[in-house]
Each structure stands twice: as C-alpha cells, then as structure tokens.
Amino acid sequence: MAKQKKAPRPKAITPKGFRDYFGAEVTERAEMLDKIAGVYHRYGFDALESSAVETVEALGKFLPDVDRPNDGVFAWQEEDNDWLALRYDLTAPLARVYAQHRNDLPLPYRRYAMGPVWRNEKPGPGRFRQFYQCDADTVGAASVAADAEICAMLADTLEVVGIPRGDYIVRVNNRKVLNGVLETMGLNDDGQRDAVLRTIDKFDKVGEAGVRELLGKGRLDASGAYIDGVGLSDDQAEPVIAFLTSRGDTAAQTVENLKAAVGDSEIGLDGVAELEQIADLLGAGGYGPDRIVIDPSVVRGLGYYTGPVFEAELTFEILDEKGRKRQFGSVAGGGRYDDLVKRFTGQSVPATGISIGVDRLLAALREKGRIGSEAQGPVVVTVMDRDRMGDYQAMVAELRQAGIRAEVYLGNPKNFGNQLKYADKRQSPVAVIEGGDEKEKGVVQIKDLILGAKIAQSASHEEWQDRPQQFEVPRADLVAKVREILDQY
C-alpha cells in the first residue's frame, strides 16, 4: 500500500490586499475613533452598528460612479440562491436600515457609524481591500442647514483629533451648479456630458490649461501619450472654465462668479443659492474661510451626489516616496444624496453625510507627531517562586484596581533574565520583584525599566548617576511607588 502523502502546511501569509494591525495601531485607531464619536455625539447623532453583510440586491450598484456590476464586492451565493456580500461602504447599509425601520426612527434620523468595509479591487501601495470608514449622516432633512452642519462638524472633528486650524480646509461645492453649467453648454449627448465630468475631475492635476486642451482636441500627458479630447469648441468649453476658476477671495465673490458661469440655468442658480445659504449659516456659526470655503474645483463623485458636496483637505506639506514636497491631501468627503433610499421606498428621501478615511487621518496625525510615540507596556510582576503564584496575582490585582496596566509573567520563570527580556520586549515601564527574602522581610523590589533603558543608551552615565534604578519598599507601598515612577514619565 502506497504511503499517504502528508498534506502541505498552509503558508502563514495575509491574503493579498489585507493586513494585520498590532497593539499600538489598534489602540491609536480606537482612541481617535472615540474622539470622533464624542464630536458626533455632541452634535446629536446616534450610533448605529449595522450588519457587515448585506444582500447584493440591497447594496445595488457597487461602488458609486463605477460601472462594474457584480465586481468590486466580496459576494457569495446562499443555498436558496440569494446573493450576499460584505458591505463596501457604510452608506448603502444606512439606506437599507432607514427603509426597513423608518416607522420606528425619528425624522430626520441622525446617525454615525464606524467600522471596516471591504472592496474586491486590485490592491496597490497604500490601497487595501479592507479598511475603516467613519461616517455621519442625516436622513430626512431637505434643508441645506443639514449640509452646513455636516461641514461644521467635520471641521470640529479634525481639530479635536489633533489637526490644528490652518492645517486643513473644508471645501464645498454643489452638483446642481455643475448641472447648470452643462445645461448652459447645451450638451445633450450623455457620452459628452460624462466626458466633461471626467475632465473636470482632472482640474487639480492638469490645471486650467490642461482642462482647456482636454475639453478641445486633447493633450500630451506626462508620459508623452496623447489623450483624446472631448471635441468641444472654445465657446462651448468656456462655461466649464468659468465654473472651475470662479473661486474668489470671499464667499460672496465666488457666488457672483458662479452666477455668471451658470447663466440663466434654473437648476444652476438653485445650486448657487444653496451654496450662498450654506456660507451664511457657517458664517453665523463662526466658521470662516480659514476653515470652510466655497470651492468649485471640488468634484468628488458628482455623478453620485445630487446637491452640495464637501471635501476635507489637509494643507500641510509632506515628502513623497521620491523626497518631493506635496500637500497631504484629502482625508474625508461627502455630500447630499437624495435618491439612495428611494430604491427601497419608491419615494425620494433627502440625505446628506460625510465619510472620514480613518487610515488616511491616522497617517496625517503621525505626520503631525500627534500619535506614534512608543506605546507603554504593562507593569510586569515577575515570578521568583512558582509556588507563590497567589502572592503575585494579588499584587497584579492591586495594581489593576488602582487603574495601572499590569500583568504577571506567565512564561517559564526558571530564568529570571528571560523575564526581564520579556518586560523589555513588552516596553514595560516597571518590573516588580519579590523573592523569598523580600517576602520574609515584607518588602518588594521595584525596578525602573525606562531609566534603565536610558542609561543603556547613554554614552555617559553621569546625568543619571544620582537616580537609582531599583527601589526596595514595604509591600504595602507597592502601588504608591509604582505610580510615582509612572508619573515621572
């Protein structure tokens, strides 16, 4: 009988496009989300935790502005032939939740949600298939006061988590204004309209001259390849240029410039009026142009949104992978989407909201030095006598009850040096030692590991020579002495 082959061992690797998060990263994210939740709660928003799995039917068209049905999500078929999928954002589940529970929910319904989403897309540098989002939305409020409130809340959120005023700007635009521009241009062909939208989206990259070329015959890109243009005449393209370059020194100037760009278009003038009202409401709340501005160059997903759109951009400079200076860029975006709930109810339900890219915002905070310092580990109670584990557990319980993070060493206690190595690897600030002699005398030894590490790294020990690394204190003073050492750092 042939010898049966052993099954190969599985490879210990993360799937492509996914990653693992360890202690400090998880803690940093949790602390930041807690601060954001505090702002949302203060604004009157309630938390919602919806299912990570939705029916494919409920999710609808996957990924706003991406025509790839049955792609972009992780989906599977159930035995009853229904298709389910992991959520790709937090907005589609909100539409389903509101439609399902609308008779029990207040109107307007204000909710915030935080959690992972999954997208079955091609991964790349900094682009993962699982990532965190942090959303806040108001469903059932048609007034642009709801949009203005979202913008104010976003500005407050950035400052609370550690992005100072002057390092960010919240930019506001309106889909209706762009619709007015397209109406003024007289474009009836959907293909041309979509091509104009795509060109407008490139304004930040190619500038006014580049947009003119792309709206006309075309242009050479940075690689030397020729990009075909939309084929508009200069006169046809002019309203788009006027729209994109209409930002003035004040909100009032921008509004006047936009009125000129949309001409007699009713929907365009309606959008301009909404922007004017948003600016007035924000001004009344103390949110000036140093924090929030009307900016026609904001184009994010305009095919998805039906009214005002907003984007939070961080304006401080960082170095890219080639050492070149560039602005950090966008960390949040959103807008008004009045047609999403309609898929379920058949009736238009106004809605507006914002989504913060959690990983992007964490990266920004690290750049600003607001997070990312070495995490402090727990106090480690070493084990000198395994038969006295109860004594050590009593010590660690006292430390925990006093609010001090602590643990008993649970490895093999035979080699005391390995216990201290473990404490170093855990970045522990303090080690507690109680051998038989200390037990008999009613004392404990408390070792300052942070000071010990500084001495080890210092070329000269003179600056530390007056500071002892280890203290013998009465057993009753354990908590007080540990706290005294921790308070120094």
Q: In this structure, which amino acid lies at residue 333?
A: G
* Bridge partners, residue 312, by sequence: 170, 332
379-488 placed in CATH 3.40.50.800:
yes
As given in the structure block, the two tokens for residue 83 are: 């298709």
Confidence of residue 36 (pLDDT cuts 50, 70, 90): very high
Give the pLDDT score at 311. Answer: 93
- Give me the DSSP letters along 25-39: HHHHHHHHHHHHHHH
Phi first, then psi: what are they for 113, rounded to 5°?
A: -145, 145
Strand order in the sheet with 406-408: 406-408, 379-381, 430-433, 443-448, 470-474
* Bridge partners, residue 183, by sequence: none
Average pLDDT score over residue span 40-44: 96
Distance (Å, whole) CA 263 – CA 249 = 21
User: Does the annotation list 304 as a binding residue?
Assistant: yes
Confidence of residue 101 (pLDDT cuts 50, 70, 90): very high
Over 80: is that where the pLDDT of 126 sits? Answer: no
- Of 84-88, 206-210, 216-220, 300-304, the one with minimum mean pLDDT is 300-304
* Residue 40 and residue 137 in contact, taking contact as beta carbons nearer than 8 Å: no
User: Does the annotation list 137 as a binding residue?
Assistant: yes
Q: What is the mean pLDDT of the chain?
A: 87
pLDDT higher at 373 or 81: 81
User: Does the annotation list 91 as a binding residue?
Assistant: yes
Distance (Å, whole) CA 135 – CA 118 = 15
Give the pLDDT score at 461. Answer: 54
- Of 170-184, 211-225, 402-416, the one with minimum mean pLDDT is 211-225
Give the pLDDT score at 103. Answer: 93
For 12, other C-beta atoms within 10 Å of its C-beta total: 5
Is residue 116 left, alpha or beta, with left meaning phi > 0 and alpha meaning psi from -120 to 50? beta
User: Does the annotation list 90 as a binding residue?
Assistant: yes
User: Does the annotation list 345 as a binding residue?
Assistant: no
State the residue for tokens 């003035």. Answer: 248
Distance (Å, whole) CA 60 – CA 437 = 71
Is residue 185 left, alpha or beta, with left meaning phi > 0 and alpha meaning psi from -120 to 50? alpha
pLDDT digits (tens, 9 = 90+) for 317-346: 776 666 666 778 889 999 999 888 888 888
Average pLDDT score over residue span 10-25: 89
* Bridge partners, residue 355, by sequence: 135, 333
As given in the structure block, the two tokens for residue 373 are: 């310092």
User: Does the annotation list 133 as a binding residue?
Assistant: yes
Q: What is the DSSP letter of 119?
A: -
- Give me the DSSP letters along 56-112: HHHH-SSSTT---TT-BS-EEE-TTS-EEEE-SSSHHHHHHHHHHHTTTS-SSEEEE
> Structural domain boundaries of the chain?
379-488
